[in-house]
Amino acid sequence: MIEANHFWFQRLFFNAYIPFILRRDFKSHNITGKFEDRGLPLLLIGNHFSWWDGFFPYALNRKMFKRRLYLMMLEEQLASRRFLRRLGAFSINPGSRTAVDSINYASQILKDKNNLLIIFPQGNIRSQYDNEIVFQKGWFRILKSTAHPVHVLFMANLTDYFSNRKPSLYTYIEDYPETVNFVFEELSSGFSSFFKRCIDQQKQLV
């Protein structure tokens, strides 16, 4: 597996670059939902629909969480973008022997209350208009092997143009109430319900 290797210089660069490209390519970034810090390691679960997906939570973290960021990526994707490991990206290769190493690595990340781990359990990019969110199961071993409380937060990113030349970005967040004894089916259905509520809210913006 490819491990994260935070580097201060690239962090400074992206602290400036990511807000710049978001302002350049989006009309606005609108955040709906509240975050109340419980003093626990933070696991952010999001929908996976675009090339931008790693940049959205990076900006969100700077605005709201202010944690040390880690992002789980498919190994084939990170291998061609190794500079992202300097920002906290690490790899997983599902179905391989090294997948266990990635799961253990992620579990170690969630032992530190100052860390933020971002995952996209759909595995592959799907259309943002696909209401049926289906999670892969392998990632859930991260939570099953974590013996202490973890703060799970749902995130949904959606875009709309409406009457503007550039799209606006809408980020919805919602707390998942459980902190221990997670059940895959409950967590998965909880995210699906959350995502459908986000779609309903988005329709009201028209």
- Domain count within the chain: 1
Check which CATH number belongs to the domain holding 39 and give it. Answer: 3.40.1130.10
Q: Is 127's pLDDT higher than 80?
A: yes
pLDDT digits (tens, 9 = 90+) for 171-202: 999 999 989 999 999 999 999 999 999 999 99
Total number of residues shown for the chain: 206
Residue 191 lies in a domain: yes
DSSP 8-state code for residue 62: I
Contact 158, 170 (CB under 8 A): yes
- Which domain, by its residues, includes 163? 8-203
Residue 157 lies in a domain: yes
Residue 3 lies in a domain: no
Out of 28-42, 103-117, 119-133, 169-183, least confident range? 119-133
Q: How far apart are CA 145 and CA 176, in angstroms?
A: 18
Q: Which spans in 26-150 are helix H?
A: 55-60, 75-79, 98-109, 141-144
Q: What percent of the chain has pLDDT over 90?
A: 77
Q: What is the pLDDT of residue 160?
A: 96
Model's pTM, two decimal places?
Answer: 0.94
pLDDT digits (tens, 9 = 90+) for 143-174: 998 888 999 999 999 999 999 999 999 999 99
